[in-house]
Amino acid sequence: MTHRQHSSLADGRDLFYYDLKPGNDRSAPDTRELPETATSSQIRWDPLFSEWTVIAGHRQSRTYKPPASLCPLCPSTEGKATEIPAADYDVAVFENRFPSLAVEAADAFGVVEEFPFRSGPGTGRCEVVCFTSDHNTSFAQLSQQHARTVIDALADRTAELSRLPEVEYVFCFENRGEEIGVTLSHPHGQIYGYPFVPPRMLRAAQTAAAYSDEHGQCLRCELLRREVAAGERIISRGEHWTALVPFAARWPYEARLVANRHVASLPELTEDERDDLASSYLDLLQRFDRLFDTPTPYIAGWHQAPVRQFADSWHLGTEVFTIRRAAGKLKYLAGSESGAAVWVNDITPENAAAQLRGD
């Protein structure tokens, strides 16, 4: 069982330690004198495309590619205080010092409702998830027990953030690799508590709800059943999770890890499902790393149910994709993808699945 300890950073931000075993003292205080920061986040509505944009100009001053000796996510040592005051940790989660969204943003901006202009404060919550204290490893190299602790931390933070009145959607994700645009190389992910349901998730939720109303069953359950029957895009299948390449994959190498049971969000997973998830997720990431002769840059994100709606028809899964299309070659988002949101995939999903299987 994962053990949680709560602490606070010098500027009052929350810090949580998640340990594989009990008995670790993580009570070391944050000795830094942190200068005050201002959060100036807004959300603005685009009436043409019916979607929100977050405006967060204060993030220009965030930490950018520090050397390993100055990594703010490593444990603190004598003479070097970091965002993690403890001398060691298993998993740590803390409020981002330069958040895209923050509860205190409500004090900075009012609400504008003057057609066609509509905006409001960028309320919400952004947290950093440090997967391990080891700067020179990756999620894929964690032990199964350690990966399970990360999953427990994500589930716990999802439950906590879902209780905030400002939050409508909790998105847990990882950006890995400089080619993705990562500015801190320490193994870590993030959790965003959005004040709205992101457009891609909203469209998926509405589609799943409509299918459930018409057919009386879950759309993703049916998709999973059909994919298992077809077989050619299945990467791996265990007791509780199935990894597959979607039929209409957008990225050359893209996979989804889908719960076999109909379940909406991480906090609802059973102990056995969490154990199997740790194993299945590690296996999937390791398969991505075997695609090329250098570590694969990727983005991984959890698709959970919106906080206050669509829970009955939503089906939990994670999505992993890389921006590489071949060794030394990136899949650039050009006119069709970035401008028209019409994806052109360079590799068939069946071929991608075969490569991820190691066929």
Catalytic residues: 188
Q: Is the backbone peptide bond immediately before 72 cis, with ω within 30 degrees of 0?
A: no
* Contact (Cβ atoms closer than 8 angstroms) between residue 86 and residue 6: no
Strands (E), the chain: 3-8, 14-19, 42-46, 51-55, 91-95, 112-114, 117-121, 125-130, 169-176, 188-194, 234-237, 241-244, 253-259, 298-303, 317-322, 324-326, 329-330
- 92 to each of 24, 99, 164, 232, 253, how far by Cα in Å? 13, 17, 20, 39, 30
C-beta of residue 211 within 8 angstroms of C-beta of residue 248 = no
Distance CA 298, CA 187 (A): 12
What residue type is assigned to position 188 of the chain?
A: H
Ordered alpha helix ranges (H), 163-270: 199-215, 219-230
The span from the first CA to the last CA of the chain, in angstroms, equals: 37
